């Protein structure tokens, strides 16, 4: 039986006045993302039936081979945002440069820029494992009525006004925050409606799950190696459980619900790790902090990093407060 939950549409309207800047523009933008999420969800769900699995034959600016669904999800999100004339600029993992939106309103009155990882967990697409979308929203710093500039996108994560993700999993969920806690909405596919299913999501203070690509262990810094050994040690409530999907959104989502730590450290073969500061780490860090968790690069707060380029990578550690604090102890000891 369906619980009598609020719909996302109702929730957005009810919470509009609590936004820091309540002109209604941010609400419209979240609505546009909600629509794009449904479109991409529809595509992801039929991926095995139509010819959208596999490699698209191109490489993105990160040097990764693009999957057909990476390209499709990118197109759908950008098109939906463009059609609704609701943002002044978009940056995406799959685009070399940021996109300037010429709103129909000749004066370019839109204030917000969106940064997206349209399809997170690409390597899971072909094997029917959960993938996601990540989004991050900022107010532009350049004046409205002018084309956006790089500095509108290279803002510190602490300047985000909203961030969220969609996880295309056993259910499709949209999880987001506008700075007043984190709320999760589950899609009822029959109705095409998101319902508030996970109000006020919080990382448990302590957790028992660690998530890291342990295949890279030999390349990690000593602090990370020591922390992993700590997780595996038989003592107290340890050893912890190891869970790694290889899709940041899904790993984060599980850890936020169950308690855990996600790690993508730098290594001797990837000097800044793999994850992108602007499309992956900042939005997830914003959500983590809103949900009583911590997100760091192993030493300091992710949200305080001053970005220098669009596709910048950064080491990423995120999750339950006590687990990340323990990791920090090991990192500091070996610094
Ligand atoms: P994307 O599919 O958007 O390029 O991101 C992939 C990321 C992230 O989702 C995941 O946690 C990580 O890459 C997995 O990397 P490894 O395969 O190196 O573990
Ligand atoms: Mn990618
Ligand atoms: Mn990603
Ligand atoms: Mn991606």
Q: Give residue-wise pLDDT tens across range 224-278.
A: 999 999 999 999 999 999 999 999 999 999 999 999 999 999 999 999 999 999 9
CA Rg, the chain, in Å?
19
Q: Is 123 a residue whose pLDDT tops 80?
A: yes
Give 285-297 pLDDT, tens digit per residue: 999 999 999 999 9
Find the ligand nearest to 121 CA: 1
pLDDT at 107: 63
pLDDT at 45: 87
pLDDT at 184: 98
The model's confidence at residue 56, banded by pLDDT at 50, 70 and 90, is: confident
Give 144-203 pLDDT, tens digit per residue: 888 999 999 999 999 999 999 999 998 999 999 999 999 999 999 999 999 999 999 999
Q: Is 22 a residue whose pLDDT tops 70?
A: no
pLDDT at 103: 59
Atom of ligand 1 nearest to the CA of 134: 3
pLDDT at 126: 85
Q: Comparing C-alpha atoms, which of 142, 173, 179, 133 is closest to residue 21?
A: 179
Q: Is 18 a residue whose pLDDT tops 70?
A: no
Domains belonging to the chain, first-starting first, are 8-198 (3.30.540.10), 209-333 (3.40.190.80)
Q: Is 121 in the pocket of ligand 1 (CB under 6 A)?
A: yes
Q: Is 74 a residue whose pLDDT tops 60?
A: yes
Q: Comparing C-alpha atoms, which of 102, 106, 76, 104 is closest to residue 88?
A: 102
Main-chain phi, psi angles of 194, to 5 degrees: -85, 135
**Residue 191: CA count within 13 A, CB half-sphere:** 9
Residue 93 annotated as binding site: yes
pLDDT at 20: 57
Q: Is 88 a residue whose pLDDT tops 90?
A: yes
Residue ID of nearest Cα to ligand 1 atom 16:
246
Q: Is 94 in the pocket of ligand 1 (CB under 6 A)?
A: no
Q: Is 274 in the pocket of ligand 1 (CB under 6 A)?
A: yes
Q: Is 14 a residue whose pLDDT tops 80?
A: yes
* CA–CA distance, 284 with 188 (Å, rounded to integer): 24
Residues with Cβ within 8 Å of residue 263, at least 6 apart in sequence: 210, 211, 212, 224, 316, 317, 327
* CA–CA distance, 280 with 303 (Å, rounded to integer): 12
């Amino acid at each position: 039986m369906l619980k009598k939950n609020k719909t996302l549409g109702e929730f957005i309207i009810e919470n509009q006045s609590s936004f820091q800047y309540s002109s209604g523009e941010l609400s419209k933008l979240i609505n546009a993302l909600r629509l794009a999420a449904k479109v991409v969800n529809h595509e992801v769900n039929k991926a095995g039936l139509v010819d959208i699995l596999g490699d698209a034959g191109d490489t993105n600016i990160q040097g990764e081979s693009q999957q057909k669904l990476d390209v499709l999800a990118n197109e759908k999100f950008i098109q939906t945002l463009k059609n609704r004339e609701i943002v002044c600029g978009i940056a995406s993992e799959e685009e070399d440069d940021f996109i300037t939106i010429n709103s129909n309103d000749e004066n370019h009155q839109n204030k917000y820029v969106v940064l997206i990882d349209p399809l997170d967990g690409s390597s899971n697409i072909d094997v029917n494992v959960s993938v996601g979308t990540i989004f991050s929203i900022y107010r532009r710093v350049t004046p409205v009525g002018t084309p956006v500039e790089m500095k509108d996108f290279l803002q510190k994560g602490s300047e985000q006004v909203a961030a969220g993700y969609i996880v295309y999993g056993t259910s499709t969920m949209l999880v987001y925050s506008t700075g007043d806690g984190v709320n999760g909405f589950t899609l009822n596919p029959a109705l095409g409606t998101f319902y508030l299913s996970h109000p006020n999501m919080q990382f448990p203070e302590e957790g028992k799950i660690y998530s890291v690509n342990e295949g890279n262990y030999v390349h990690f810094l000593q602090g990370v190696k020591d922390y992993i050994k700590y997780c595996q040690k038989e003592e107290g409530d340890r050893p912890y459980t190891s869970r790694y999907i290889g899709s940041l959104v899904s790993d984060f989502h599980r850890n936020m619900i169950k308690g855990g730590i996600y790690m993508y450290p730098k290594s001797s073969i990837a000097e800044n790790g793999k994850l992108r500061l602007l499309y992956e780490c900042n939005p997830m860090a914003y959500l983590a902090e809103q949900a009583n968790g911590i997100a760091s690069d192993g030493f300091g707060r992710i949200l305080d990093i001053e970005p220098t380029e669009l596709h910048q990578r950064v080491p990423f550690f995120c999750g339950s407060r006590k687990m990340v604090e323990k990791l920090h102890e090991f990192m500091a000891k070996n610094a």
